[in-house]
Structure 1
Amino acid sequence: MRAGFLVRGLATAALLLGTTFSAHAEDALARVKAAGSLKVGTETAFAPFDFIDAGEHAGLNVDVFAEIGKELGVTIEWVALPWEGVLPGLEAGKFDMVAGPATITKARMERYRFTPPVAEATVAILKKAGDTTITKPEDIAGKAIGVGKATAQLAQLTAYSETLPTKVDVREYPAFTESYADLAAGRIAGVANSLPNIAFVASQRKDTFEVVLPPFGQKSYFGFIGTKDADHAPLMVAIDAALLKMKGDGRLAEMQKKWFGASFDTPDSVPDPAF
């Protein structure tokens, strides 16, 4: 009798152990495919990548991830929150990856896993239309310039300010939309953001804004973000493959033209960012 209990007990333990090993063996890609959806965190105030248009989530990221979903055979589940909460949310496991996108920097690469670039991220200044006091980047010396909180653009603006005869009065905003509103109202003299972003904003409001060229700072690129752990590696490799396939067959370039008015010649990877 006791032997029977022992056999049944060992069988039950083996079954539980096998289930545990199976659960651990299922990586992030397998879980995403099993669930039928990829959960993506982003903010929706970073046009033309992510924004709300007539109540609908729109932008380059929406189009790109729709294609990634097709390649992986899953739907996309969006999780929107302020930018300063996006990366902590990724680390807390609230979603599978981040759309953002984010500028690929040395510091971020130490902590996160980036996809191939989806656009350039070089920084430029947006000013009010007709403002003759800012005709080149160095003219922002001593002026109030808006920039997004916890962004690579903030780091670039701060570094550039140190090279000017008078430091920039840096004003940090939780969302770039708020900085554009303050610029339009004359409360600040300009906004520092990536050239694709401000070019889009200026094209939408030609009577209100102008782009100051050339850009300043070092050439950089935007990429999507995932975690660096082994569990998520197969998922990130699959997403990389989807993006490179879209780049190769022209889908990515068409989406860039749709949202930026031009396509970008981006590298397949950025192993050594400029900053």
Structure 2
Amino acid sequence: MESNVMGKTVKAALLGATLLVAGFAATAQADTLADVKKAGTLAVATEMQFPPFDFLENNEYKGVDRDLFDEVAKELGVKAKYIDLPWTSVLPGLEAKKFDLVIAPVTITKERVKRYAFTVPISEATAALMKRADDKSINRPEDIAGKTVGGGKGTSQLAQVKEFGQTLSPQPTVKEYVDSNQSYADLAAGRVDASVNSLPNLAFAAAQRKETFAVVLPPFGKPSYFSWVGRMGDDDKSLIEAINTALVKIQKDGRLATIQKKWFGMSQELPTTVPEPQL
């Protein structure tokens, strides 16, 4: 009887060890890039209310990110599945593994690099201001003292204008919006005196409505960059590396410059590694 019990105990122990090893092996083999290539589809999310990077025109998704990620998907040999979400849902959705990458432009900051894996930059992102074209009272960033400024909630540009505002007297009132387009609408209507966003976004908006808007130069923010983001961790490391390889190739062969000229009217020389954030 004792021998029988001991035999069962040994078998149970061996089975447990086998399952444990198998579990470790499965964990070691988990790889998002391999899964994506096997499925043939890469699910990416953005907010399609952020021109010229992401926007809808006649219900068709267009912009810098669409054109650029189409090229990245070709390099990876997969099809892109584009998901439209409010900005406030994009990063939480990534962490919840509802998709594999965020292509909404995310400013590289010291806090965010602790939480997310950034790709190499896809655009410059220095914060600037836009005013109404007929407003003669704002000619430089410091002229927003005592005025009302609108910007997208949760963006680094909004955080920067709040910090900048603290250096002014009287301090400006900062109004938060769900997306930048709402801020622009209130600016045109006279409900705010200026809108804050990245310089590329504002340059595009002003170019589209020259009679309504004008960019306030120079930009007031610290030099910064937009990137795409993935999850931290070994499972997603190969995916980010593959995307970085594709982005560098696209920059070197001129495809990135073509996309930039299409949407910005000019090209930008970008770092080919993730820069140390200044924000």
1:140-155 mapped onto 2 (5 Å cutoff): 140-155=144-159
Give the whole-Å Cα distance in 2 for the aligned partners of 1:219 and 1:60. 20
The one of 220, 224, 227 equivalent to 2:224 is 220
> 1:115 and 1:205 mapped to 2: Cα distance?
32
Listed as ranges, the matches of 1:181-196 within 5 Å are 181-196=185-200
CA shift digits 1:222-252 (9 cap, x unpaired)? 0001111100000000000000000111111
Corresponding residue of 1:262: 266
Task: Identify the match of residue 232 of structure 1 among 232, 236, 243.
Answer: 236
Structure 2 partner of 1:209: 213
Question: Secondary structure of the residue that 2:219 maps to in structure 1?
Answer: strand
Counterparts of 1:18 and 1:274, CA distance in 2: 44
For the pair 1:91 / 2:95, whether they are aligned, the reply is yes
Query: What is the deviation of 1:267?
Result: 1.2
Aligned-residue CA RMSD (Å): 2.1
SS in 2 for 1:216: coil
Q: What per-residue deviation string (whole Å, max 9, x for no partner) do you get for residues 87-137 of structure 1? A: 000000011010011111111111111111111101111111111010110
- 1:251 maps to 255
Shift of 1:21: 3.7
- Superimposed CA distance per residue, residues 139-176 of structure 1 (whole angstroms, 9 cap, x where no aligned partner): 00111100110000011101100111211100000111
2:126 corresponds to which letter in structure 1? T
- 3-state DSSP class of the match of 2:218? strand
Gaps of 5+ in 2: 1-10
1:108 correspondence with 2:112 = yes
The amino acid across from 2:34 in the alignment is A
Instruction: Name segments (4+ residues, structure 1) moved above 3 Å.
Output: 13-24
Indicate the residue corresponding to 1:53 in structure 2. Answer: 57
- Alignment partners' CA distance in 2, 1:244 and 1:80: 26
Number of the residue aligned with 1:198 = 202
Identity percentage of aligned residues = 52
CA distance 1:34–1:206, change in 2 (3 Å) = same
Which residue matches 1:172? 176
1:38 matched residue in structure 2: 42
Deviations 1:17-65 (A, max 9, x none): 7698457514000000011011001100000000011211000000011
- Distance in structure 1 (CA, Å) of the matches to 2:257 and 2:238: 25
Q: Residue type of the partner of 1:214?
A: P
SS in 1 for 2:112: helix
Give the secondary structure class of the aligned counterpart of 1:52.
Answer: strand
The separation in 2 between residues aligned to 1:233 and 1:100, in whole angstroms, is: 19
- Which structure 2 residues correspond to residues 61-72 of structure 1 after superposition, within 5 A? 61-72=65-76
Question: What is the letter of the counterpart of residue 41 of structure 2?
Answer: S
Secondary structure of 1:214's counterpart equals: coil
1:135 aligns with 2:163: no
Count, aligned residues: 269
Residues 183, 195 of structure 2: 8 Å contact kept: yes
Aligned to 2:124: 120
TM-score, structure 2 length as denominator?
Answer: 0.91
1:76-87 to structure 2, matched below 5 A, reads 76-87=80-91
Which of residues 55, 59, 77 in structure 2 aligns to 1:73? 77
Range 230-239 or range 258-267, more displaced: 258-267
The code of the aligned residue for 2:120 comes to P
> 1:3 matched to which residue of 2?
none
